[in-house]
Amino acid sequence: MEISSLFLIYTIIFLSSCFVLLSYHPYMKKRRKPQEQSAKLPPGSMGWPYVGETLQLYSQDPNRFFASKQKRYGEIFKTHILGCPCVMLASPEAARFVLVTHANLFKPTYPRSKEKLIGPSALFFHQGDYHYRLRKLVQASLSPETIRKLVPDIESTAISALHSWASPPNNDQVINVFHEMKKFSFNIGILAVFGHLDSNYRDQLKENYTIVDKGYNSFPNSIPGTAYSKALLARKRINEIISELISKWKEQRLIENDLLGHMLNYKDEKGQTLSDDQIADNIIGVLFAAQDTTASVLTWILKYLHDDQKLLEAVKTEQMAIYEANEQGKKPLTWTQTRNMPITYRVIQESLRMASIISFTFREAVEDVVYKGYLIPKGWKVMPLFRNIHHNPELFPAPHSFDPSRFEVPPKPHTFMPFGNGVHSCPGNELAKLNMLIFIHHLVTKFRWELVGNEKGIQYSPFPVPLHGLPARFWRN
Q: Which residues are annotated as a binding site for heme?
A: 426
Residues at the binding site are 426
Q: Which helix (H) or strand (E) holds 412?
A: none
Which among 358, 392, 350, 385 has a CA at the least distance from the CA of 464? 358
Write the single-letter amino acid at 2.
E
Spatial CA neighbour of 214 closest among 203, 230, 202: 230
Report the alpha-carbon distance of residue 59 to residue 49 in Å, rounded.
Answer: 17
8 Å CB contact between 434 and 147: yes
Supply the DSSP string of 65-130, one letter for each residue.
HHHHHHHHH-SEEEEEETTEEEEEE-SHHHHHIIIIITGGGEEE---HHHHHHH-TT-GGG--SHH
Of the candidates 399, 409, 407, 280, the one whose C-alpha atom is nearest the C-alpha of residue 347 is: 407
DSSP 370: E
Quote the CA–CA distance of 164 and 474 in Å, as a whole number. Answer: 9
Kind of pairing between the strands at 374-376 and 381-384 = unpaired
Cβ 359 vs Cβ 464: under 8 Å: yes
- Classify residue 52 by its DSSP letter: B
The helix/strand/coil state of 175 is: strand
Q: Cα separations (Å) of 169 from 161, 197, 332, 343, 472? A: 18, 34, 27, 32, 15
Rounded distance, CA 279 to CA 352, Å?
30
Quick check: 470 and 449 in contact, CB under 8 A? no
DSSP label at 166? B
Residues 6+ apart with CB under 8 A from 27: 85, 368, 377, 378, 379, 380
CA angle 4, 363, 182 (to 5 degrees): 55
R_g (Cα) of the chain, nearest Å: 23
Q: CA nearest 321: which of 341, 301, 349?
A: 341
